[in-house]
Amino acid sequence: MADIRLEGVGHSYDGGRTWALKPMTWTWRSSRAYALLGPSGCGKTTLLNIISGLLSPTVGRIWFDDREVTAVPTAGRNIAQVFQFPVLYEEMSVYDNLAFPLRNRKYPKAEIDQRVRRVSQLLGLDDHLRRRSRRLDPGRQQIVSLGRGLVRSEVAAVLLDEPLTVVDPALKWTLRSKLKEIHRDTGHTLIYVTHDQTEALTFADEVVVLNEGAIVQAGEPTELFLSPAHEFVGHFIGSPGMNVVPAEIADGVVRVAETDVGRAVGELEPGPVHIGVRPEFARLGGEGTSPGLPVQVMEVDRMGAYNLVHVKAGDHPVIAKTEADARFAPGTVEFLHLAPDRTFLFRDSVRCGSIAPLDAGEPLDSIAPLDGKGAP
């Protein structure tokens, strides 16, 4: 196990014309479970392949603790990898597939058996150990691939590239929690690449959000959800993502569609701004109590466990998440309340402040913005 440090690492597939991965400096700390989250084409797999040595970066250096590995090929980096689709020896039994990485590295026979059985038990493969891999369904084959990635103890890191793509939705939940238990057991450094925010948030100690080849925010799942530093993070994390509503700041007051919704907190020039608020923190109902924003109810999606109420504030669509038994009828006018400590202001997509109630009697510093900037 080692800290994996990227020093100014960047990659270009077209001789430097564009960066698939913009030069970055970043450390993956030993024994942590990371999720690398972003849309397709954001550079996730490029970054993963640079760590494993399948790809040599255009610029920058890679360190495993104090050993530079930039020029070291994959075989010399001691990394385990799990891919999107099963990679197995089809004619071998499940047991032999799991044992293969250990036999390759000349583990003692007794330890091989013990490790294979431990992984097999954790992943629920005990009943299949003697079967040939090709006789398993694709979902179970992928579980065996996962087991192969986790069976060795001394790897520098286990890299997982969207490992649950071919697995049935219900089984995903089970496997993810197994993976977490295995991580707690073994203390592997895990880097789990996914575009699925639920997977990332439930799996990781720390989520690294990648967009257009750059890290836009990294932090604990709760932090990314509650206090997004970038509009992209607000949008990409959470389902549905954060509402972004164009607004205007004048005389320190934030206005949306001709209604004052709160005081701007932060050192903000007057002018256009975006309000970001998650559907969970946009509450509907009540009277026009300040700073209630009158909105028109357009449509209600009944999702079973909750409802998604689509409303319009002026011309701007906003989604509010409500209880399943809440009653809002399309066509009616309701008031939208933005939770003050969970409503942020963004300029050029970057968070620049927050909103406080208009009639707040308390001093400003009790509602200081989360980034610590702009407090009086």
CA 139 to CA 128: how far, in whole Å? 13
Q: Is 28 in the site for another protein (CB under 8 A)?
A: no
Residue with smaller CB distance to another protein, 2 or 162: 162
Sheet holding 333-338, edge to edge: 282-284, 333-338, 293-302, 306-313, 316-323
69-128 positions binding another protein, by CB under 8 A:
none
324 in contact with another protein (CB under 8 A): yes
The Cα 152–Cα 99 span in angstroms is 9
282 in Cβ contact with 272 (< 8 Å): no
The answer to whether residue 14 forms part of the interface with another protein (CB under 8 A) is no
Residues in binding contact with another protein, number by CB under 8 A: 45
CA within 13 Å, CB half, 320 = 28
User: Which of these segments, 21-29, 109-117, 297-305, 355-363, binds another protein (CB under 8 A)?
Assistant: 297-305
User: Is the separation of the CB atoms in 367 and 339 below 8 Å?
Assistant: no
The H or E element spanning position 121 is helix 109-122
Nearer to another protein, 35 or 151 (CB): 35
185 binds another protein (CB under 8 A): no
Binding marks (x or -) toward another protein, 327..356, rule CB under 8 A?
Answer: x-----------------------------
Restricted to residues 240-259, the positions that interact with another protein (CB under 8 A) are 240-241
Binding of residue 154 to another protein (CB under 8 A)? no
**Contact indicator for 19, 213 with CB cutoff of 8 Å:** yes
Tell whether residue 17 is a contact of another protein (CB under 8 A). Answer: no
Q: Answer yes or no whether residue 283 interacts with another protein by CB under 8 A.
A: no
Query: Of 154 and 323, which has the nearer Cβ to another protein?
Result: 323
| Among positions 280, 314, 358, 371, the unique one binding another protein when judged by CB under 8 A | 280
Is the preceding omega at residue 57 within 30 degrees of 0, hence cis? Answer: no
C-alpha span between 5 and 26 (Å, rounded): 6
Residue from 121, 153, 177, 332 in contact with another protein (CB under 8 A): 177
Considering the rule CB under 8 A, would residue 32 count as an interface residue with another protein? no
Q: With contacts defined by CB under 8 A, name the span among 62-70, 208-216, 232-240, 364-372 that binds another protein.
A: 232-240
User: Residue 180 CB, nearest distance to another protein (Å)?
Assistant: 6
Q: Is 238 in the site for another protein (CB under 8 A)?
A: yes
Please report how close the Cβ of residue 325 comes to another protein at its closest, in angstroms.
Answer: 5
Give the strand order in the sheet containing 67-68. 21-28, 4-11, 59-64, 67-68
Determine how β-strand 79-82 pairs with β-strand 243-250: unpaired
Query: Using CB under 8 A, which of 18, 121, 222, 332 touches another protein?
Result: 222
40 near another protein, rule: CB under 8 A: yes
Question: Alpha-carbon Rg of the chain, whole angstroms?
Answer: 25
SS3 280: helix
Considering the rule CB under 8 A, would residue 53 count as an interface residue with another protein?
Answer: no
Distance CA 356, CA 376 (A): 13
How far apart are alpha carbons 151 and 80 in whole angstroms? 9
Smallest gap from residue 64 Cβ to another protein (A):
29
Decide if residue 203 touches another protein (CB under 8 A).
yes
Residues 177 and 289: their CA atoms lie apart, in Å, by: 44
Which residues here bind another protein, judged by CB under 8 A? 39-41, 137, 139, 168-170, 173-174, 176-177, 180-181, 184, 195-198, 201-203, 220-222, 224-226, 235-241, 278, 280, 301-305, 324-325, 327
